[in-house]
A and B are shown apart, each in its own frame.
Chain A
Amino acid sequence: MNVMSPGSVREALDLLASDGAAVPIAGGTDLLVHWPVRVEAHERTYVDLSRLDSLRPLRWTADELLLGGLTTYWDVIRDDRASQEFPLLVDAARQVGAIQIQARGTWAGNIVNASPAADGVPVLMAYDAVVVLESRRGREEVPLDRFYSGYKEMKRRPDQLVVGIRLPRRRYSYQVFEKVGARRAQAIAKVGLAITRSGAGWRVVAASVAPTIRRCPAVERLLETGTPIASPEALRPAIAQDVAPIDDIRSSAQYRTHVMAQVLYHDLGDFWGKRA
């Protein structure tokens, strides 16, 4: 096993450019799972990002929250302003695992791990996050809702590093994150939902019901009409257009679709109830 420990982002980008198979590693909460038995993973070259302190802090500007490439869940949980302005980030961070994971896991790592069951990605996507990628060839920004092209397939080239995540600061009239798992803590989502409404419109983002985390454009269009939804069943045609759940170890396609409709219906009921 080969470990490179760059002391600067520049040096890290040089390493990624020179070895297309090198794996960047931040908190390790995905890459180290069952490590001793995953011997094939021991043959790789790792680019250890842990010394790149400049990527750690989150920053606020007049119109943006910028998460660094190494900002952890705990960094966001401990930021008072984040709980006021981006409460779903804090909700998701508190459910992604307990303190032991929150302290190490990074938002950027959650994006590039590309799990369809991720907790961080749906809330970032519901806030219109933009992924900032850097390589020796320059900087590229990709809206998170266009970042994935298939299961574990994404727009990041091997020579690119996620150096930041940009979130526009907006006023939200509604926002909620729902995670349905086998239990309240330490679970992987059977269904996840992040819903926001702002001047930019509705965002409905679903997890664990498709090969990638994805927005649900048909459901969003339905909500934009402003017509209250009569029942969970009334959401089914739109949901069927937007997601493609499967049966797997954690749940069944049928259960996932049912739960998604129920949870969405009850959340929206809360929204319309509040407006009345």
Chain B
Amino acid sequence: MTTLTVTFTLNGKPVSLRVDPAARLLDTLRYQLALTGTKEGCGEGECGACTVYLDGLPVNSCLIPIYQVRGHRVETIESLDPGALEPFERCGATQCGACTPGVVMTAWWIREHVDLLRTHSIRELMAGNLCRCTGYDGIVESVAEALRESASRKREA
């Protein structure tokens, strides 16, 4: 099998590895780099369980060919502060956990880009993360709570 070398920045550190050119970013993360926090759900870009950041934007890693991340910046759920999960646990927005890493990734992105809420609702921004256990009100409330906490922490600082 021909392989190709990809070099990119993963969770702040440079990585360089030989990959199958047919691998998706998701496959490389999970099976080559053992970063199994990123989940595969639908495999067609609908459910958002495989959400990671590519150059700072949430993307479905099941739809990214590995050769397209060369020279780019990727962040996975493993890079986030574990505290990012707390509001979801408090609001009953977690159950089986399959969607949770993706949900938390999108939620954290919103928290880091609150200006988006001038034009978008939390619900619209979270629409790319499907959850079949808890329903969505808890998820939306968790994101709202995370935003309130982040704002009050900024005020105190």
Contacts and interface: CB of A to CB of B under 8 A. Distances in A.
Interface of A: 1-3, 5, 25, 27-29, 32-36, 42, 46, 48, 50, 74, 94, 97-101, 103-104, 184-186
Contacts of B8: none
24 contacts: A1-B21, A3-B21, A5-B67, A28-B63, A32-B62, A32-B65, A46-B65, A50-B68, A74-B57, A97-B46, A97-B128, A98-B124, A98-B126, A98-B127, A100-B45, A100-B51, A101-B60, A101-B128, A103-B58, A104-B59, A184-B127, A185-B127, A186-B128, A186-B130
Nearest to A80: B119
B45 to A, nearest CB: 6
Contact of B4 (A3, A33, A100, A104): A3
Given A99-B125, A100-B58, A101-B128, A34 B44 contact: yes
Interface of B: 4, 21-22, 24, 27, 43-46, 48, 51, 54, 57-60, 62-65, 67-68, 70, 106, 109, 124-130
A84 to B, nearest CB: 13
Contacts of B24: 32, 35-36
Contact of B128 (A3, A36, A46, A99): A99
Contacts of A74: 57
Contacts of A185: 124, 127-128
Nearest to B60: A100
A48 B68 contact: yes
A58 B128 CA distance: 25
Contacts of A1: 21-22
B125 A98 contact: yes
Contacts of A50: 68
B22 A99 contact: no
A32 B65 CA distance: 8
Contacts of B126: 98
Contacts of B63: 27-29, 32-33, 35, 104
Contacts of B67: 3, 5, 48
Say whether chain B's binding surface is mostly helix, strand, loop, or mixed. mixed
Nearest to B67: A3
Given A29-B63, A36-B43, A94 B124 contact: yes
Given A98-B126, A100-B45, A100-B128, 15 more contacts: A2-B21, A3-B4, A3-B21, A3-B65, A5-B67, A29-B63, A33-B63, A34-B44, A48-B68, A94-B124, A98-B125, A98-B127, A104-B54, A104-B63, A185-B127
A74 B4 CA distance: 30
A192 to B, nearest CB: 18
Contact of B54 (A25, A94, A101, A103): A103
Given A98-B128, A101-B128, A103-B57, A25 B45 contact: no
A168 to B, nearest CB: 26
| 9 residue pairs, one from A and one from B, having the closest CB atoms | A98-B128, A185-B127, A103-B57, A98-B127, A32-B63, A100-B128, A33-B44, A100-B60, A1-B22
A229 B45 CA distance: 41
A275 B155 CA distance: 49
Contacts of A29: 45, 60, 63
A101 B58 CA distance: 9
B127 A186 contact: yes
B59 A42 contact: no
A33 B46 CA distance: 10
Contacts of A25: 65
B45 A99 contact: no
B45 A97 contact: yes
A100 B64 contact: no
A7 B68 CA distance: 13
A5 B129 CA distance: 31
Contacts of A36: 24, 27, 43
